[in-house]
Structure 1
């Protein structure tokens, strides 16, 4: 199966449009149509309906395989190029919004002080995209975070030969408004909060909490962004609860700020992992060592 044809198919399916896919890929619309027709001829199956443009049942099955296949191809190319690359001082660091906590921000500062020529560009992405960027060579290093049991690894996609190292783990707190009846508790159990009103946010997906505890966790407000301060302000204003690493909230909150009550059960932590491919001696390897503590 030709990966170029597969890329075109994924792009058309994502846009739901041959013309939009052609504009993104730099092809003519006729060329895109010919590539889709060639892929369908290779498989002997219709993959896309034409009016409207959307995947058939066979196309949907192919899409399930296409993403991981194309990512592994990009990862293989990036891994080979990394092995032959000359180390440089311009590094790309991809991180999830909560990954660069105070500890890691300080380690990054020390690494930059030790390497005055080091130039770091920081990209904020979701965990899956961070892993894909590192695997595909779009980032030299990645930092991804998540909610796990102590010492458990994060759930990241299979991207090929990528090294993952746990670099920090910290306490989780239930973030709630100052006037909430539970704000004065010494700790809280997640199982006792299944009927509370929660914020739906990429920083703490409620699907993850349901995986851990079971059904419940009704959505009071669905916030699609990833700004930590916005989340804290929404919590402080009474729009719902969420889980955050303890360092994301101020240690001495004001009357208008969100409160953080330690999560007592189940035993969970906020874990951050460092992701990287093969790193020859040089600035990237030195930065990885510094971030690992």
Structure 2
């Protein structure tokens, strides 16, 4: 069997349509259609139900998807073992994480990976928890860093990398209380600024505001640096990892407020598929992240 047929089939299931799958794979639509038809002739039964919103797997399609994942994993392992040198890890490793983690905690590790494993090609791309779990399941990522996963997802190994303190900060001229924890009502009355959806600590702060005042919709920003400048300018308060605001606190551009109970830490986790074979390159990068990420401020 041509495993490209299986790859096309899984992509169609993931994106929910043949046209979108063709665009992602770089094929014309007729090629992906031909791949699906070839699979259906091979197994002797329809694999997809077509409907106006796209496609969904039939019962046979769902069963094939489970086997296809294992077959593609085995193919990847075979090719890696046959082409990798015995002495050093080699090949691509794809890591996804929230944008702030990519920028502040992963980017500083790239030189170390390059120095220790020059034949490993490490790529990073931003993803929130849901996107990261999907990328791991779809084999588009080998490892993921996530912040405070709300559930223990099946089929994923999680390593706790240790918590990091969060700081609720406001402009130095703020009139909000500093000597006691600020209340949810006070936060709802203040101008709270959040990072983009998918940032766990910002999302939790947003949920706290919404529960206190459902009419409030705090604005969201695309980056920590922009957010810090807005806070320093007196536009509102925000919650950020403490190491990210150390300089601003030292320069008295912002002041730290006492957070509501239970919202002063973030917990990063290193995630990897539990059933997929890990190449030597993936194992090497996993070890570096496990050892080094907790020490990166």
TM-score (norm 2): 0.63
Q: Structure 1 pair 81/120, CA: closer, same or farther in 2 (3 Å)?
A: same
Q: Structure 1 pair 121/222, CA: closer, same or farther in 2 (3 Å)?
A: closer
What is residue 240 of structure 1 aligned with on the other side? 236
What is residue 270 of structure 2 aligned with on the other side? 274
Instruction: Work out which of the residue numbers 209, 212, 215 in structure 2 matches 1:215.
Output: 212
- The 2-side partners of 1:281 and 1:263 are apart by 43
What is residue 149 of structure 1 aligned with on the other side? none
Q: Structure 1 pair 73/131, CA: closer, same or farther in 2 (3 Å)?
A: farther
Q: Structure 1 pair 77/209, CA: closer, same or farther in 2 (3 Å)?
A: farther
- The 2-side partners of 1:10 and 1:135 are apart by 10
Structure 1 window deviating more from structure 2 (260-269 vs 125-134): it is 260-269
Q: Structure 1 pair 183/99, CA: closer, same or farther in 2 (3 Å)?
A: farther
What is residue 150 of structure 2 aligned with on the other side? 155
- The 2-side partners of 1:215 and 1:178 are apart by 25
- The 1-side partners of 2:111 and 2:118 are apart by 11
Root mean square deviation, CA, Å: 4.6
Q: Structure 1 pair 171/89, CA: closer, same or farther in 2 (3 Å)?
A: same
- The 2-side partners of 1:138 and 1:6 are apart by 12
Contact 1:166/1:274 (<8 A) preserved: yes
Instruction: Work out which of the residue numbers 96, 99, 102 in structure 2 matches 1:97.
Output: 99
- The 2-side partners of 1:231 and 1:156 are apart by 29
Q: Secondary structure at the match of 1:249?
A: helix
Structure 1, unmatched stretches of 5+, are 36-41, 49-53, 147-153
- The 2-side partners of 1:284 and 1:46 are apart by 37
Deviation of 1:4 (Å)? 6.9
Aligned length: 260
TM-score (norm 1): 0.64
- The 2-side partners of 1:255 and 1:141 are apart by 37
Higher helix share: 2
Q: Structure 1 pair 93/28, CA: closer, same or farther in 2 (3 Å)?
A: closer
What do residues 46-79 of structure 1 show as CA deviations (whole Å, max 9, x unaligned)? 942xxxxx68xxx9xx79xxxx999978854554
Structure 2, unmatched stretches of 5+, are 1-5, 37-45, 82-88, 292-297
